[in-house]
Amino acid sequence: MISYHTLNVNDLEIFYREAGNPSLPTMLLFHGFPSASHMFRDLMPALADHFHVIAPDYPGFGQSSAPDHTQFAYTFDHLSDIMTAFWQALDLGPAYIYVFDYGAPIGFRIAAAHPDWIRGIVSQNGNVYQAGLGAKWADRQDFWDHPTPAKRDRYRTAFAPATIRGQYLTGTAPHTVSPDGYTLDIAYTQTPGYAERQLDLIFDYQNNIKQYPQFQAYLRQHQPKLLAVWGKNDPSFIYPGAEAFKQDDPNTEVDLLDSGHFALETHASTIAQLIIRYFG
């Protein structure tokens, strides 16, 4: 059974889902863009007999507080600080982390700052290598290097309904992806202030790439047990990013799945079995 909670963290209401007995090893699930903790709705029950599973929504996502972007810095450093405070407020102690998409720079910031908190890492299309950046990132580099209001405005297409459906469906077999996840993600784009806070994060993503060397240094120094399970047909974070973990962390297993970016939509059961086998 999944239960649903809200916790006050730094004057923000952080929504989270929880499953499994707290006496079991904890695993925090860090979601991606443009989603929220609902992306783990199938994975959490599959892990609950083996892990105490917690999936928060970041500020500005899902059911958590979403301050106006003029009053709150929507940066990955700030979201990582909030998730660090969330971890501490729940007094979780050392835990496994599951990082996906935006969850990777958040989770790896926490891991690099608090290596003693990390029992192991699942990276599902959670990239920290140049080798894992698909073709679209070259265009974003131009935006980051030479930002203009017009270029910023152009990135509203990143959360247009057709783009979101494409993120879910690209690289998957026909008729295998439920509309539930992308329909809810599209609904969230209609919430007040959504566009501006997401555009702030798209611009700040450049600072994640700048921190890749620090994330890789963490892996080389601490060599956590790491499972890189990847939808190999993801055009955004391409599968060489999964293979790249091996160059820094010998305690890495790579599993490439015949799916796309949101691999949990088609392979939640398979991913759960891989996690239980690898960390059980």
Q: What is the CATH number of the domain that holds 191?
A: 3.40.50.1820
**Res 277: pLDDT:** 98
DSSP character for 27?
E
Give yes or no: 5 in active site. no
Q: Which residues of 3-37 are buried (b: 16+ CB within 10 A; e: fewer)?
A: eeeeeebeebebbbbbbbeeeebbbbbbbbbbbbb
pTM: 0.98
- Bridge partners of 13? 8
CA dist 237 and 132 (Å) reads: 5
The structural domain count of the chain equals 1
For 242, the domain range is: 3-279
**Res 257: pLDDT:** 98
CA dist 154 and 143 (Å) reads: 10
**Res 232: pLDDT:** 98
Give every residue of the chain whose pLDDT is below 50, as ranges.
none
| Residue corresponding to tokens 């695993």 | 27
Among residues 31, 38, 69, 261, which one is catalytic? 261
Yes or no: say if 232 and 96 are a contact pair by the CB < 8 Å rule: no
**Res 280: pLDDT:** 82
**Res 79: pLDDT:** 98
